[in-house]
Structure 1
Amino acid sequence: MTDQLINDRDIDFLLYELLDTEQLLSRERYQEHSREVFNATLDTARTIATKYFANHNAKGDANEPRFDGERVHMIEETQAAWDAFAEAGFLAAHADFDEGGLQMPEIILRSAMAYISAANVSSSGYPFLTIGAANLIRTFGSEEQKALYLPPMQDGRFAGTMALTEPGQGSALADITTTARPQADGSYRLYGQKMFISGGDQSLTENIVHMVLAKIEGAPAGAKGISLFICPKVLVNADGSLGARNDVALAGLLHKMGYRNTTSTVLSFGEQEGAQAWLVGEPHKGLGYMFQMMNEARIGVGMGAAILGYQGYNHSLDYARNRPQGRLPSNRDPSSKQVPIIQHADVRRMLLAQKAYCEGSLALCFYASALYEDSHTAPTAEEREQAFALLDLLTPMVKSFPSRYGLKANELAIQVLGGSGYTREYPLEQYYRDNRLNPIHEGTEAIHGLDLLGRKVPMAQMAAYRLFTETAHRDLESARAHPELAPLADAVAEGLTLLNETTATLLSRLAADPDRTLANATVYLDMFGRVLVAWIWIKQALVATGGLANSPADSDDAHFYQGKLQAARYFINWELPEIKPQAELLQRFAPEPFEMQDAWF
């Protein structure tokens, strides 16, 4: 089977043709870099991914971490992977030069992480979380907190986590019960329990910095009373040396269907004297702060889901090209040679669907990373504000669409291999198990559907939604200038019109009847996601059309661009039309799930 991670040509297409990442070099922050530096960074990521992460993807799945009551034990390859990632500087890649960072654009860091995730999505969880926690401290922490925690997090001595979920609450963060008790020295003592904390304990680093949501005693009820705290596993002295063990205990490891080499933990804070912690920013604003890390994680989850689907596609494509079986229906000669299964039309259908889902999802996640970059470093305030607004609106789909359809792609990949796909001889069943987490963590589909329809679409008189439709229509007008793309552009325009009509219908009743209006929000999320990815495919088709016109016939580039165009045709002609029955259900407020009674089940 193939040992390929990501097709480098895909990365090159996304970075330099679809997104024009090279133009970032004109921004003051990146003027010391070059395209060669960007590519060298990706080359390093690919090498580390291949040498240190891919080598234990299956082994980490088969030998998950174990807790002996005192210490977490992990396979030794995980340590080597962590060390290689840290030594290459990736934990500090996007930090400023004067902070010891590489001052890399967000899109380059996320491209590098894509290689790591492709090699081993489970072991990539530790650096992924540490980068997010460090970003949170960098943005909202005090100067003392940044000086104390960022250097060891950036050099790999400390790891980071986000501790939100509690055993009885799940996504209902407003109802968390972890309590913070103020101390005379300005610190706090935490009491409570957190669950499903990825990377909450491990044997890779000398310390773990937990970013914990809790409520200060006497705080207002609900989300308005949540604060954010730094709570290290081991206390850190003022000079940066390690002190005593903090009152944070690992209650146990959770045993998962997939992502097995990323520890999933239950943590107890304050079983004895209370876990010592320090407030980040202002009291009662913690949930707003934590949304920075949560939104980064949501884009990362979408990227990971797209990559897992992409890896399944790679393996099933390789298998289909090399597995002989059967003959074409037109061949009635039983003595003739069997054909590779890729010659069977239904196998090509399954491969094309995977390609459309995964390359569309990957392009969507790269686009979101570019928006994140623009929201911080675009030349004008207006450009930064528009990028932030658009990213904020699209984040529910960036997380949820790849999570749903990357998983569907893995299912199709297993089907291409038939019975072999259902065995552990091939990695596809692990990809499927790993990917099954992605529709759940960092907000289930239902949570994101409610957020999208109930908050983000109507926010600021639908300003971000209007910005999305205006941006999409500009690309559709450009596509109509190409005769071969005009029918696809018209189909996506019809999809946008149907989305607009459905959105208007739903919002007309949102204030008066929010329960019934939001009852089918997950269907709306999927409908919006299909329209969004159809637009992303139009953007890719525009680039591919130009590239094809400048490529020699029958060249590798010509085949590459033809593949992009055919995937665009497939998605827009096969997948986008599914929004029509969805719109019908939504516009009539289809009542069956809402009206179903508990006693009737």
Structure 2
Amino acid sequence: MSKVLSRRDLEFLLYEWLDVESLTTRERFADHSRETFDAFLDVSQQIAERDFAPHNRKNDLNEPTFDGERVTIIPEVSKALKAFAESGLIAAPLSAEHGGMQLPAVVARACFLWFQAANTATSAYAMLTSGNSHLLLAHGTKEQIETYVYPMLEGRFTGTMCLSEPQAGSALSDVLTKATPAGDGTYRVTGSKMWISGGDHELSENIIHLVLARVAGAPAGVKGLSLFIVPKKDVKTGERNGVTLAGLNHKMGYRGTTNTVLAFDDATGYLVGEEGRGLAYMFLMMNEARIGVGAGAVALGYTGYLHALAYAREREQGRPLDDKNPTAPPVAIVKHPDVRRMLLASKSYVEGGLALILYAAKLLDERSEENDLLLDVLTPIVKAWPSQWCRLADDHAIQVHGGYGYTREYPVEQFYRDNRLNSIHEGTDGIQALDLLGRKVTMKGGAGLALLLDRIRATASSVKGDLGEPVLAACDRLAATTAKLWAKGDPSSALVNATAYLDAAGHLVIAWLWLEQHLAAGDKEGDFYDGKRLAARYFVTHELPRIGPMLDLLDSGDTLLRDMDDAWLG
């Protein structure tokens, strides 16, 4: 069995739960079948295990270096990305008119999970390029698409997103980078961008930066931001375009992905869409990236869990609690209750997280006003919940390995370090919490939250036995708490404990998706289905009760975090 990802679980979720074969009745996916979906999954697994996984450790130990002129990256990264590009996977979900194969988003997401689990640092270049190209397909001109997108789809160019700045971080309203009209339809872009993943390398012929900048005279705040295409090199001459690598950041994880400080000095930029709508356009890439980050957190947690499970079955140590014979042979540590606790908890996190990612992706394939609204509400949870709880699966994996887990001779410590970054990628968990409670559950008069809770209640009411009742009760509590928080319409009070709200809502959503899996498993026989039913019961009985204290805190109206004086921290 692969220790990268579980093909069996993917097939269960895709075919037995989500019934992705039914998508082939839609005109867009009519040329597809179970056979074509499986073929894409096959090639993804093959390339991931052959070209991505083998250099994951080497990528971590030999991070990119910068000698003042060029960035050096281990050659295996280029080889892997070339194999990925040649497979056609980067363009597969796109329309045929753009050279795509109209693969459903849910299948494409399942495919890319293999690469994220095998080597998250190398896969990051592909993920950013994909998001960049999708944004330009949606908002770019025909000429921009032909000049920049098609080479990205072919793997010749790569792409980035340039939002953060040294002084601004996530506060995009404070962006200072300027764009000055040059009089010929182009702009001169000047400023500094920070934390730009994939910002400089020699893995591709060119790097296409999407840069948020402010045109002179634009209003303050995010409404004054515009979006520009700023290539590393002029596509006609091949000369550098005023984009300079000022330095590399050295992160605790994702070490194989260049993370850069970029200086833009009168770089030629090309406006995307209209002035002043830059952040609105960028949200397409940001939301795609947020789902991608959540998926990456699931992938890393999942591979950590599979490594821990294999180790626990092989490692013999200790004896059963009721065996007092010191000469009795040791047993595999998977027999010990506390090891089982960590493994079962991890299983519930990563398989629940995987269900969340694929459910969200299928909403993109079944676009409707209702599904778009539901995806809006779920997106902060999709990004933040796996970043916290699937990381805990990697934490457990280290513990299951015992002392070996803390050494670099075993891969689980790297999985944890890589996964730790996902809580800050594409907006911190705190930002996602503010987005969920401050915007998503209140928009359209609370229609999005009501829709989510209706779907959860429908599932919980269909489950036989006592598993549905706690979930129904949790729905009622979350609805009541939300109403109470916003009763006075005061954001400073309602949002002070937003992170607790995100945690509670996330756990409720995962409990719902475990009930969905429980229903899909039904009465089917075999260890796999027994495992699904066991994990569903575990999550509802052991994990869902965590939200009680969270909702109690929210209901209390506590404003300690708002009212405290930072001087009291010491």
TM range (shorter): over 0.9
Give the aligned partner of residue 70 of structure 2: 71
Give me the whole-angstrom Cα distance separating, in 1, the residues matched to 2:31 and 2:513.
31
Shift of 1:593: 2.3
What does 1:390-539 correspond to in 2, within 5 Å?
Answer: 390-479=374-463, 482=464, 486-509=465-488, 511=489, 513-539=490-516
Any unmatched runs of 5+ in structure 2? none
Give the aligned partner of residue 565 of structure 1: 533
Q: What whole-Å deviation, never above 9, does each CA across 1:356-381 have from its counterpart, x for those lacking one?
A: 01110111011111112222xxxxxx
2:549 aligns with one of 560, 567, 581:
581
Partner of 1:215: helix, strand, or coil? strand
Shift of 1:498: 1.1
Give the aligned partner of residue 378 of structure 1: none
Give the aligned partner of residue 261 of structure 2: 266
Give me the whole-angstrom Cα distance separating, in 2, the residues matched to 1:48 and 1:362.
21
Give me the whole-angstrom Cα distance separating, in 1, the residues matched to 2:521 and 2:150.
43
Any unmatched runs of 5+ in structure 1? 376-383, 552-557
Match status 1:244 vs 2:243: no
Percent identity, please.
51
Q: Does the aligned pair in 1 maintain the 2:441–2:449 contact within 8 Å?
A: yes
Give me the whole-angstrom Cα distance separating, in 1, the residues matched to 2:127 and 2:15.
24
Give me the whole-angstrom Cα distance separating, in 2, the residues matched to 1:220 and 1:357.
44
Give the aligned partner of residue 558 of structure 2: 590
Shift of 1:148: 1.0
1:385 aligns with one of 342, 364, 369:
369
Give me the whole-angstrom Cα distance separating, in 1, the residues matched to 2:436 and 2:2.
38
Q: What whole-Å deviation, never above 9, does each CA across 1:542-587 have from its counterpart, x for those lacking one?
A: 00124x1xx4xxxxxx110110111111111111101111111111
Partner of 2:422: helix, strand, or coil? coil
Shift of 1:591: 2.7
Shift of 1:287: 0.5
What does 1:180-259 correspond to in 2, within 5 Å?
Answer: 180-237=179-236, 242-259=237-254
Give the aligned partner of residue 379 of structure 1: none
Partner of 2:201: helix, strand, or coil? coil
Give me the whole-angstrom Cα distance separating, in 2, the residues matched to 1:445 and 1:6.
25
Partner of 1:123: helix, strand, or coil? helix
Q: Does the aligned pair in 1 maintain the 2:157–2:208 contact within 8 Å?
A: yes
Match status 1:359 vs 2:354: no
Partner of 1:229: helix, strand, or coil? strand
Shift of 1:3: 5.2
Shift of 1:95: 1.8
Q: What whole-Å deviation, never above 9, does each CA across 1:453-495 have from its counterpart, x for those lacking one?
A: 111111010111111111111111221xx3xxx3110011111
Letter in 2 for 1:520: N
Partner of 2:214: helix, strand, or coil? strand
Give the aligned partner of residue 157 of structure 1: 156
What does 1:112-151 correspond to in 2, within 5 Å?
Answer: 112-151=111-150
Shift of 1:427: 0.4
What does 1:530-549 correspond to in 2, within 5 Å?
Answer: 530-546=507-523, 548=524
Match status 1:293 vs 2:292: no
Give the aligned partner of residue 555 of structure 1: none
Between stretches 87-96 and 118-127, larger displacement belongs to: 87-96
Give the aligned partner of residue 95 of structure 1: 94
Partner of 2:121: helix, strand, or coil? coil
Give the aligned partner of residue 337 of structure 2: 345
Give me the whole-angstrom Cα distance separating, in 2, the residues matched to 1:541 and 1:498.
23
Partner of 2:239: helix, strand, or coil? strand
Give the aligned partner of residue 380 of structure 1: none
Letter in 2 for 1:360: G
Number of aligned residues: 569
Partner of 1:184: helix, strand, or coil? coil
Give the aligned partner of residue 554 of structure 1: none
Letter in 1 for 2:520: V
Q: What whole-Å deviation, never above 9, does each CA across 1:129-181 have from its counterpart, x for those lacking one?
A: 00000000000001111111121011011000000001011111111011110
Q: What whole-Å deviation, never above 9, does each CA across 1:23-44 have from its counterpart, x for those lacking one?
A: 1111111111211011101101
Q: Does the aligned pair in 1 maintain the 2:485–2:493 contact within 8 Å?
A: no
Q: Where do 4+ consecutive residues of structure 1 move more than 6 Å?
A: none
C-alpha root-mean-square deviation of aligned residues, in Å?
1.0
Give me the whole-angstrom Cα distance separating, in 1, the residues matched to 2:422 and 2:209.
22
Letter in 2 for 1:493: L
Give me the whole-angstrom Cα distance separating, in 1, the residues matched to 2:383 and 2:238.
39
Give me the whole-angstrom Cα distance separating, in 2, the residues matched to 1:532 and 1:372.
18
Give me the whole-angstrom Cα distance separating, in 1, the residues matched to 2:563 and 2:305.
40
Shift of 1:14: 1.0
Q: Does the aligned pair in 1 maintain the 2:187–2:270 contact within 8 Å?
A: yes
Letter in 2 for 1:292: L
Partner of 2:261: helix, strand, or coil? strand
Letter in 2 for 1:518: L
Give me the whole-angstrom Cα distance separating, in 2, the residues matched to 1:14 and 1:519.
37
Letter in 1 for 2:467: L
Give me the whole-angstrom Cα distance separating, in 2, the residues matched to 1:361 and 1:412.
16
Shift of 1:99: 2.0
Q: What whole-Å deviation, never above 9, does each CA across 1:316-362 have from its counterpart, x for those lacking one?
A: 11111011111111111111111111111111011000000111011
Q: What whole-Å deviation, never above 9, does each CA across 1:175-199 have from its counterpart, x for those lacking one?
A: 1011110111111110110000000
Q: What whole-Å deviation, never above 9, does each CA across 1:90-114 have from its counterpart, x for those lacking one?
A: 1211122232222211111111100
Q: What whole-Å deviation, never above 9, does each CA across 1:220-245 have from its counterpart, x for those lacking one?
A: 111111111111001123xxxx5321
Give the aligned partner of residue 600 of structure 1: 568
Give the aligned partner of residue 172 of structure 1: 171
Give me the whole-angstrom Cα distance separating, in 2, the residues matched to 1:575 and 1:282.
47
Partner of 1:25: helix, strand, or coil? helix
Shift of 1:314: 0.5
Q: What whole-Å deviation, never above 9, does each CA across 1:415-437 have from its counterpart, x for those lacking one?
A: 11111111111101000000000
Q: What whole-Å deviation, never above 9, does each CA across 1:270-301 have from its counterpart, x for those lacking one?
A: 1xxx0100110111011011011000001110
Shift of 1:70: 0.9
